[in-house]
Amino acid sequence: MKIAFIVPHFPPHIGGGEQLYFDVCKGLVLRGHNVRVVTSSSGGVSGFMNYDGIDVWYCNWKLVFGHPIVRMRDIEEHVRWCDIVHTAIYSTALKSISASDNAHRPCVVTIHEVMGDKWSFFEANPLKAAAFRFYENLILKRARNVHVVSEATSRDYEKYCHNPGRVFMIYNFLNLPSDETVRSENITFRRAFGLKEDERGILYFGRPAANKGIFVLIEAIRLLRDYLTGKNIFFCLILSRDPKKGRQKVLKLIDSYDLQEYVRIIDSLPRRRLLKVLSEADLCVIPSVTEGFGYAACEACYYKRPVISSDGGSLGEVVSGKAVFFENRNSIDLKDKLFDYIENGTDHFENIPEKVFDKDSIIDSYISMYDNLLGNNGEERTCM
């Protein structure tokens, strides 16, 4: 089988979706399939590269709000070459669908999340929010075949897309380095944040963006501020520098709420060092407002860390182990759950059975999806 992935970003661009595409492509190549990737040069690489049998074309596409504008001439040859086109929401979807229609190739669109009316929560400018929602809806209506990464995304797709196409629900999978490799990293959670042995650290890691719930967490810390004195509890944040405005807002709120004594911040860490720090955290907070899949939650649960998680998006599907949920966007409820943890540890946490996202079976599901679409050329519009 010949599969052309047309995606906005690809490693070395850093991100959960980008790593997923790489891992899926590698899994398909190992099964004997031919894979091409056409993507933007956002990761700092241009031209042709080959990674473990994956042929990758990095194109100098213009970025608008961080999203690449695809040139049709860059993808048409690869669409004609392949048996099936796999693309992703948002910026590569429409032209990939058009090129696939012109070449009479089936096309499937990966939808990580459907934002719908949530655009107005994340975008303060109502005109921009309306434009983003219109563009998302346009893609959903054009996509005859969609791959969603959780039941939550599937529900949102059916809610906001009133003319749904064929829906294939396939979870993402974790592709983590060996436990031995992670343990060998010369870093510890306590040393990374300067914690003493009698001090506990509550970890948040990720992008300083509204959809990740970081501002819900900061508000909960503000509500706890007077109580935290003398408790030897610190909120330990691993924050990326992107988006820049989001990080600046976090720092400004910490200053204005006078939280410097209780919050410690470090920059993003290389992958294995991040996992080592994560694996030793006393508690992880996953305050996301939306999650199509929830890599951070899965990684925390893999390393058996107790978790306080939002009940937003797919988090209820992927969280396992010692965990408790708070109401999405509700900083007061999060404050109450944090207070209970500080007072009682994990005594009132649930014990949720382990959830396994096995790579081999998930790659099997991708191949079955492609076989299904090639069998009927993706023309039927039914939900599965």
Whether residues 183 and 169 share a domain: the answer is: no
Assess if residue 381 is contained within a domain: no
Task: Determine the pLDDT at residue 85.
Answer: 98
Helix 151-160 vs helix 126-142: crossing angle, to nearest 10: 100
Any residues with CB less than 8 A from the CB of 86 and at least 6 apart, and which? 3, 4, 5, 6, 107, 108, 110, 147
Any residues with CB less than 8 A from the CB of 358 and at least 6 apart, and which? 173
Q: How many CB atoms lie within 10 A of CB 229?
A: 9
Domain containing residue 76: CATH number: 3.40.50.2000
Task: Determine the pLDDT at residue 106.
Answer: 96
Q: What is the pTM of this model?
A: 0.89
Assess if residue 122 is contained within a domain: yes
Task: Determine the pLDDT at residue 66.
Answer: 75
Whether residues 192 and 152 share a domain: the answer is: no
Task: Determine the pLDDT at residue 18.
Answer: 87
| Per-residue pLDDT tens digits for 75-117 | 999 999 999 999 999 999 999 999 999 999 999 999 999 999 8
**Beta-strand pair 63-64/321-326:** unpaired
Whether residues 144 and 198 share a domain: the answer is: no
Give which of 126, 174, 229 is closest to 359, Cα–Cα.
174
Task: Determine the pLDDT at residue 384.
Answer: 34
Whether residues 146 and 186 share a domain: the answer is: no
Whether residues 326 and 219 share a domain: the answer is: yes
Assess if residue 18 is contained within a domain: yes
Q: Which domain holds residue 36?
A: 2-173+359-376
Assess if residue 382 is contained within a domain: no
Q: How far is CA 265 from the centre of its chain?
A: 21
| Per-residue pLDDT tens digits for 52-77 | 899 999 999 998 877 899 999 999 99
Whether residues 114 and 207 share a domain: the answer is: no
Whether residues 233 and 155 share a domain: the answer is: no
State how many domains the chain has. Answer: 2
Assess if residue 384 is contained within a domain: no
Task: Determine the pLDDT at residue 61.
Answer: 96
Whether residues 345 and 367 share a domain: the answer is: no
| Per-residue pLDDT tens digits for 175-197 | 889 999 999 999 999 999 999 99
Low-confidence ranges of the chain (pLDDT < 50): 377-384
| Upstream peptide bond of 12 is cis (omega within 30 degrees of 0) | yes
Q: Are 370 and 136 in contact (CB under 8 A)?
A: no
